[in-house]
Every structure is written in C-alpha cells, then in structure tokens.
Amino acid sequence: MGRKVKSIALSLGERTELEEGHRRSKSPVFSKRCHIILLKSQQRSSKEIGKILSITDQAVNHWVKRYQKDG
C-alpha cells in the first residue's frame, strides 16, 4: 500500500490559474489535470476525485505528485 497524498495548499494566484485552466483550456486532458488539483485542494480523497472524474485513484495520485514536484 502506497503513501497517501495529502491535501494541497494553493495560493490565490495558483487557484486562479488552475480555475482558468480548468474552465478555458482547449485541451480536455489539461482541464482534467487542473480539476484534479482543485478538488485535492478541497481535501477530497483520491478515491472520491477518481469517482467524480471517472479515473482511478492511482491516476489522481500520479497527477497530484507531479503537480507537487513540478507545479
């Protein structure tokens, strides 16, 4: 069993940028990645986010870890 990915704390600027990316991106993949991070910042579990977005919780954790590493 892997480590749990904790909630993400976002600055106002980061949140705004992610909301814009989620709403206005022409790339559905990028939009979904932004949505994952926004939902994680609301202290939702990876399993819950996976159900909302119809993806695995492993995929959620992958993108959260990547965001934490690379922004």
pLDDT in tens, 22-71: 999 999 999 999 999 999 999 999 999 999 999 999 999 999 999 999 98
Q: Write down the pLDDT at residue 6.
A: 76
Q: Write down the pLDDT at residue 39.
A: 98
Q: What is the pTM of this model?
A: 0.90
Specify whether the CB–CB gap between 57 and 50 falls below 8 A.
Answer: yes
Q: Write down the pLDDT at residue 7.
A: 83
Q: What are the two backbone dihedrals, phi and then psi, of residue 65, each rounded to the nearest 5 degrees?
A: -60, -40
What is residue 61's three-state secondary structure? Answer: helix
Does residue 5 carry a pLDDT above 70? no
